[in-house]
Amino acid sequence: MSVSKRKFKAEVNKILDLMIHSLYSHKEIFLRELISNASDAVDKARYASLTDASLGIEGADWKIRLIPDKEAGTLTVRDNGIGMTRDEAAEALGTIAHSGTKEFMKLLESRDVKDNPELIGQFGVGFYSAFMVADQVTVVTRKAGAAPGEAVIWRSEADGTYTLEDTEKAERGTDVILKIKEDARQYLEEWELRKIVKQYSDFIEYPIVMDVVRSKPDPDDKEKSVSETTEETLNSRKAIWLKEKSEITAEEYNEFYKHLSHDFTDPLRTIHYRAEGTTEFSALLYLPKKRPFDIFYQDYKIGPALYVRRVQIMDHCEAMLPTYLRFVKGVVESSDLPLNVSREILQDNRTVAVIRKNLTKRILDTLAEMKRDDAEAYGAFYEEFGRILKEGIHHDYERRETIADLLLFESTKTEAGKKITLAEYIERMQPEQKEIYYITGADRASAESSPYLEIFKEKGIEVLIMTDDFDDIIITGLGSYKEKEFHSAIKGDLDLGEGNKEEQKKEYGDLLELMKEELKGLVGEVRISGRLKDSAVCLVAGEHDLDPKMVKMFEAMGQVVPKGQRVLEVNPNHELIGRMKTLFAADRGSAQLKEYVGLLYDQALLLEGDRPRDPVAFARAMSKLMAEGVVKG
Ligand code: ADP
């Protein structure tokens, strides 16, 4: 059939441009990426052979072959894996199937990717890295189950287009043929290929073979030598997770992590163990150092790779890990699962549930250990993943205490950027203090300057500062820690034994009634404040109401939220409130007094970071008052 010429999607061109013009270091990773794709393709074929006998590929001799050809200047990476149809080739090698593409492009523009080539691997655009070393790439592929005449040739010179052409191919699988650039000819050398495979792809399960030519003495004439070609396997193929810990070096662990995660940085921690007993499995898990940029995307893949009897069943088994541990990468191998297990079966499989529980415990234990023994490393981990881990308080009721032990917060008494645990907070509590106080806010500065903290400052009481948007939900859900209740500094009544509230209540009772009447529909109650020192008033949410920050967030998402009845708190020790009381005693119906009440309410809104109800009217009233003050003064 015909040759058809097609255009790459815009993002492919961008990636290609970047590959070719910006990435100078680590060009050799192209081979790792191509071998990794070949290995994935073989995994898929092997798995298909188990579940679909009609493909007729059982017992195949799975293999990845490197064919350097110095004369032609080409390097071929050949596999006998699943292959691609014409449509699949166009889809897989002409677009980037990733929902976060736009964000990724932005990220590329904002950072210096020359120093961060790992970003590319993480994003799964491995194939295109071939263009770092090749000026033309040809892919000849035949899908498993398709006839020899149903193969296809994909070809591109990274000039914005590629071609597709029908062809014949005798064997199932894919050949990726690179026309090696002049300045990259070392990738045609046997020793160089051998070195790269050893470094990056040693644990690939399938043999990576190459024909090597050796000269040996001619048996007929000892003076001469003859050359002999033999097929050599370049990788040791050891499933690292099945080996004994003592047999594995730190480098091997790190290399395997990079292979799994496409990360370029070494992992923060490695967890490797074998569980024996009724359910047996091996697990090799890693905590990364840095948060992958796509971890908050919908299509972020959760869970370790799952192997059953050395066969990879899936590259991410989400049933194996709770989502709040989705930053953990790794491999789990169990022989207690059937080979043809599907995702649906895994969701409520007993063995999987046991493994999941065990992995969860191990990971949380490791974090607890790290927190205890290496606070600095734990702090760095928490910066990257604390926000995700915290979701566990909400989702994993059974372990919420354990997760709460792992939380870190800044407080009004920590240096900026330094964090403490809840246990440390409790240790530092004032002798008479009964509750754990916290304040939510957009950032530390705005939380710290808020009027809600006045009394705490005065009394030297530490308040935890929480800046993640869902902190209030998490903390409300947790309720208490080590039998100490949490109390939001901006919610509910506060009684820190300040002043004589009962007397003040009587003294100001009538004024407060008037204020309540004036603010009908806006606040449910007006009361004497136990938290103000310098400010005259503030608005407080009911103890069981949603945090105002959450209310705003939900509203921004277009949701209607029950706000509860707000409370206006009044500081009886403030000069203004004293004067209002005098005015009230002289003239209960004073129009000026009513105007003040309205202005105070608007001020309270301002203090919360909100706008006055009617900014223009507010400004006018303020100006009027100031003018009066100036005249009088
Ligand atoms: P990723 O491997 O992360 O998906 P790549 O850009 O490396 O990204 O590859 C894109 C897609 O091309 C793969 O997901 C796969 O569908 C297809 N592909 C690449 N190489 C092969 C191969 N050797 N055999 C079959 N399919 C392949």
pLDDT value for 412: 94
Q: Residue 129 and residue 34: Cα distance in Å, rounded?
A: 9
State whether the beta carbon of 33 lies less than 6 angstroms from ligand 1. Answer: yes
| Beta pairing partners, 285 | 271, 330
Specify the DSSP class assigned to residue 420: B
Q: Residue 110 and residue 116: Cα distance in Å, rounded?
A: 12
Task: Report the nearest-CA residue for atom 4 of ligand 1.
Answer: 124
Q: Residue 170 and residue 537: Cα distance in Å, rounded?
A: 83
State whether the beta carbon of 43 lies less than 6 angstroms from ligand 1. Answer: no
CA neighbours closer than 13 Å in the CB half-sphere of residue 515: 26
- Parallel, antiparallel or unpaired: strands 3-7 and 225-233: unpaired
The reply to whether 501-632 shares the fold of 240-372 is no
Q: Residue 570 and residue 392: Cα distance in Å, rounded?
A: 38
Mutate to test the pocket of ligand 1, among 15, 40, 154 (most ligand atoms within 8 A of CB): 40
State whether the beta carbon of 570 lies less than 6 angstroms from ligand 1. Answer: no
| Amino acid code (one letter) for 424 | E
pLDDT value for 102: 65
DSSP codes joined into one string, 568-619: EEE-TTSHHHHHHHHHHHH-TT-HHHHHHHHHHHHHHHHHTT---SSHHHHH
Cβ neighbours of 164 (radius 10 Å): 22
pLDDT at 411 over 80: yes
Ligand 1 atom nearest to CA at 124:
3
Structure confidence at residue 114 as a pLDDT band (50, 70, 90) = low
CATH homologous superfamily of 3-232 equals Histidine kinase-like ATPase, C-terminal domain (3.30.565.10)
Mutate to test the pocket of ligand 1, among 76, 127, 129, 156 (most ligand atoms within 8 A of CB): 127
User: CATH fold of 240-372, please?
Assistant: Ribosomal Protein S5; domain 2 (3.30.230)
State whether the beta carbon of 79 lies less than 6 angstroms from ligand 1. Answer: yes
Residue 330 is encoded by which pair of tokens?
A: 């790794």
| Beta pairing partners, 364 | none
pLDDT value for 495: 73
501-632 carries CATH number 3.40.47.10 = no
DSSP codes joined into one string, 233-270: E-S----GGGS-GGG--HHHHHHHHHHHH--SSPPSEE
**Span 489-533, pLDDT tens digits:** 888 777 776 667 778 888 888 999 999 999 998 898 999 988 888
Return mean pLDDT, the chain: 88
Q: Residue 59 and residue 38: Cα distance in Å, rounded?
A: 18
Cα 260 versus chain centre, distance: 16
pLDDT value for 405: 97
Cβ atoms of 511 and 469 within 8 Å: the answer is no
User: Once rounded to an integer, what is the mean pLDDT over residues 403-421?
Assistant: 94
**Span 341-391, pLDDT tens digits:** 777 777 778 899 999 999 999 999 999 999 999 999 999 999 999 999 999
pLDDT at 110 over 90: no
Residue 65 is encoded by which pair of tokens?
A: 């072959």
Q: Give Cβ neighbours of residue 347 (< 8 Å, ≥ 6 apart).
A: 319
pLDDT value for 121: 55
Specify the DSSP class assigned to residue 320: G
Work out whether the CA dihedral 626, 630, 631, 633 comes out positive or negative: positive
**Span 415-455, pLDDT tens digits:** 988 999 999 999 999 998 999 999 988 788 888 888 888 88
Give the full edge-to-edge strand order of the sheet including 525-528. 525-528, 567-570, 537-540
**Least confidently predicted of 75-84, 165-174, 332-341, 591-600:** 332-341
Q: Where are the domains of the chain?
A: 3-232, 240-372, 501-632
Measuring CA to CA, which residue among 185, 184, 176, 188 is closest to residue 69?
Answer: 188
Rounded to 5°, the CA angle 302-303-306 comes to 135
Structure confidence at residue 157 as a pLDDT band (50, 70, 90) = very high
pLDDT at 461 over 90: yes
Cβ atoms of 463 and 412 within 8 Å: the answer is yes
pTM score, whole prediction:
0.71
Cβ atoms of 270 and 253 within 8 Å: the answer is yes
